[in-house]
Amino acid sequence: MHHTAAALVIEGLTKDFGPVPSLDGRMVRVLDGVHLEAAMGSVTAILGANGAGKTTTLECAQGLQRPTAGTVRLLGENPHHASPRLRARVGVMLQDGGLPPSVKPMALLRHVASMYADPRPVDELAGRLGIDDFGGTAIRRLSGGQKQRLALACALIGRPEVLFLDEPSAGLDPQSRTIVFELIQELRAAGLAIILTTHLLDDAQKLADYVYIMEGGRTVAEGTVADLTAGAAPENFRELRFQTVPGLEIPPGLLPHLHRAEPEPGQYLVSGALTAGDFAALAQWWDAEGILPVSVTMAPRSLEDVFLDIAGRSIR
Amino acid sequence: MTSAAPLARRVLRHGGYEAAAMLRNGEQLVLAVALPLLALAGLVATPLLDGFGPSRIDTAAPGVLALCVMSTAFTGQGIATGFDRRYGVLRFLSTTPLGRSGLVFGKAAAVAVVLALQVVLIGGAAVLMGWRPDLAGLPWAVLTFALGAAAFTALGLLVAGTLRPEATLAVTNLLWIVLAAAGGIILPATGLPAAVEPFVRILPSSALGDGLRAAFLEGSFHPLSCLILLGWAAAASAAAVRWFRWS
């Protein structure tokens, strides 16, 4: 891809960990040639299952890990042993938050703010993210969603130009999720480069301008959500789901050109290049079997299908 | 463009923040204030140190100040750093303009602040109990004290950066007890069995105790103590730089 203003450029990134005693002291290759580019003013999502290498990629980009091979340029600089000047331009929200449990949220936020020459007003940001509601409670007593919001505030307090969010919606209740997603969209509009990891396809579909799919330590596919879901699939690719009694055999002669599955008992999935005639044939079969499904839904190809095609397994 | 606060401000702010955290922690206060005061009272009430100096309090006070260095720089700071590492606090703060070096300097500044408070409190209590230090040795005492703080801070960081926090807790507390009892810090190494004395003498605890006693009891400089502390500080710092894991 070609961006006008690249915030992050990763080329051929390889990372080995080890030696691992349980593997006779061999090294484990966690990243194996990652390529990634993230533009200013856009949300770049790294999508992958657990263990795909998303967090390690972010840590190399943030300068927390030293790459074994390859190059990382963050705002044109090498992030490993970054200068305070570079670190001031980059906000980081770690997957586990990195919050000290005995400290109170407002005290922590004020402390982090003091590391910057011109931080955002603490009270304003705390109000925006609803942190003032629990600002005096020790961090160890906060819910997962409250901790996530505080970690996000800590990442934003220094007015970063680049924002890294590792699994930003993990542990968020629906209300916090709405607050956080709105803020992310607002920051993108303000011109920030936002780079986030997620294993939730829904997050990527809602937020991302550009998606990288990672699998086995590599970036295996990339594109806008529209590009990826259109892919090589025909215009009339549909996923048809219906719910009824479990254990039905869809007759082999029925819709032979479509993919049929029962991913969960009683949940049936028919996917492929679907016509209205296929739909009618299916309805005839229901009628012959005396079935009236509880629900029937039809949708175009989703990121989940893309992921299944590429990784050969479900993301969950 | 976004920019970082000046280096000195970052380090001082972080030093203040860490010092406040240490002083808020109840266990830390017991270790930093209550135990040294108890040790002072115990050593004055019992004949343990008789024969090592002109009076019990004059012999006890330098050793108890050395004990403060060990509790604050090594045990307290080591445990706090170990848990910060576990919770990802070290990783998060190192992504801010504070950075890794700012974190370490900030921690050292926090140790210095807490030690200064301890010297005032414990030293003040000792003076009230009749301690009359030889003020001619004050510069030497300050030098020895600073080298001891550096050595024990580096050792605390080394333990915290290489072991799990629970193990750091166990190791630093155990070493504190062992060194307080038999490390030449309160009871001079010369008072220990001859078989162990040469080994105890090269420990940082013994060097710090001996150096402070020489300064306050005789007003004299004890170069060997300073060399031993310098060696420990250099070796532990080098090892910490090499093996410290941030996550």
Closest CA to A8 of A32, A47, A43, A33: A43
CA distance A94 to A163: 11
Flag if A158 and B94 touch (Cβ within 8 Å): no
Express as a percent the part of chain B with pLDDT over 90.
85
Domain span including residue B139? 7-243
Secondary structure class of B172 (helix, strand, coil) = helix
Cα A51 → chain centroid? 13
The verdict on residue B34 lying in a domain is: yes
Contacts of B9 in chain A (CB under 8 A): 114
pLDDT attached to residue A176: 86
- Alpha-carbon torsion A13, A19, A22, A23, what sign? positive
pLDDT attached to residue B143: 97
Whether the predicted pLDDT of B52 surpasses 90: no
Whether the predicted pLDDT of A305 surpasses 80: no
pLDDT attached to residue A316: 57
CA distance, residue B186 to nearest chain A CA (Å): 33
Flag if B17 and A111 touch (Cβ within 8 Å): yes
Residues 6+ apart with CB under 8 A from B65: B36, B118, B119, B122, B123, B145, B212
List pLDDT tens digits, range B178-193.
999 999 999 999 888 8
pLDDT attached to residue A251: 86
List pLDDT tens digits, range A66-85.
999 999 999 999 999 889 99
Whether the predicted pLDDT of B124 surpasses 90: yes
| pLDDT, mean of residues B41-53 | 91
Put simply, the chain B residues between 88 and 147 with a CB less than 8 A from any chain A CB are 88-99, 102
List pLDDT tens digits, range B27-42.
888 888 999 999 999 9
CA distance A72 to B2: 21
Give the mean pLDDT of chain A. 90
The full set of domain ranges for chain A reads 6-229, 234-300
Omega cis (within 30) before A265: no
Question: B24 and B109 in contact (C-beta within 8 Å)?
Answer: no
Residue A64 is nearest to which of B1, B5, B91, comparing CB atoms?
Answer: B91
CA distance B91 to B100: 9
Cα A273 → chain centroid? 28
List pLDDT tens digits, range A157-209.
999 999 999 999 888 888 888 889 999 999 999 999 999 999 888 888 889 99
CA distance, residue A115 to nearest chain B CA (Å): 5
Task: For chain A, say whether B23 makes contact (Cβ under 8 Å).
Answer: no
- Interface of chain A against chain B, CB under 8 Å? 62-64, 82, 84-85, 87-90, 92, 94, 96-103, 111-112, 114-118, 151, 154, 158-161
pLDDT attached to residue A77: 94
The verdict on residue B2 lying in a domain is: no
H or E, element range at A268: strand A267-273
Assigned token pair, B234: 């250099």
Contacts of B94 in chain A (CB under 8 A): 64
Chain B residue with the nearest C-alpha to that of A108: B17
Which candidate in B95, B101, B245, B246 is best for mutational testing of the A interface (most A CBs within 10 A)?
Answer: B95
pLDDT attached to residue A1: 46
CA distance, residue B190 to nearest chain A CA (Å): 43
Number of alpha carbons in the 13 Å side-chain half-sphere of residue A16: 9
| pLDDT, mean of residues B188-205 | 92
CA distance A242 to A263: 11
Task: Give the start-end residues of each E strand in chain B.
Answer: none
Angle between the N-to-C axes of helices B7-24 and A105-113, in degrees from 0 to 180, rounded to the nearest 10? 160
The verdict on residue B80 lying in a domain is: yes
List pLDDT tens digits, range A258-295.
888 888 889 998 888 888 999 899 999 999 989 999 99
Secondary structure class of A294 (helix, strand, coil) = coil
Q: How confident is the model at residue B25 (pLDDT cuts 50, 70, 90)?
A: confident
Flag if B2 and A112 touch (Cβ within 8 Å): no
pLDDT attached to residue A312: 67
- The CB density around residue A249, as the number of other CB atoms within 10 Å, is 8
Flag if A90 and B95 touch (Cβ within 8 Å): yes
Assigned token pair, A245: 């009694």
pLDDT attached to residue B230: 98
Bridge partners of A162, per DSSP, are A90, A193
The verdict on residue B223 lying in a domain is: yes
DSSP B16: H
Question: What is the value of ipTM here, to two decimals?
Answer: 0.88
Chain A residue with the nearest C-alpha to that of B1: A89
Count up the domains in chain B and report the number: 1
The verdict on residue B1 lying in a domain is: no
Bridge partners of A10, per DSSP, are A36, A72
Superfamily of domain A6-229: P-loop containing nucleotide triphosphate hydrolases (3.40.50.300)
Flag if A114 and B10 touch (Cβ within 8 Å): yes
Q: Are strands A42-47 and A193-198 parallel, antiparallel or unpaired?
A: parallel
Q: What is the CATH number of domain A234-300?
A: 3.30.70
Residue B4 is nearest to which of A111, A112, A116, comparing CB atoms?
Answer: A116
The verdict on residue B25 lying in a domain is: yes
pLDDT attached to residue B40: 95
Flag if B93 and A98 touch (Cβ within 8 Å): yes
What is the arrangement of strands in the sheet containing A162-166, beginning at the earlier edge strand?
A: A90-93, A162-166, A193-198, A42-47, A210-215, A218-223
| pLDDT, mean of residues B42-62 | 92
| pLDDT, mean of residues B143-164 | 96
Chain A residue with the nearest C-alpha to that of B99: A84
CA distance A291 to B191: 94
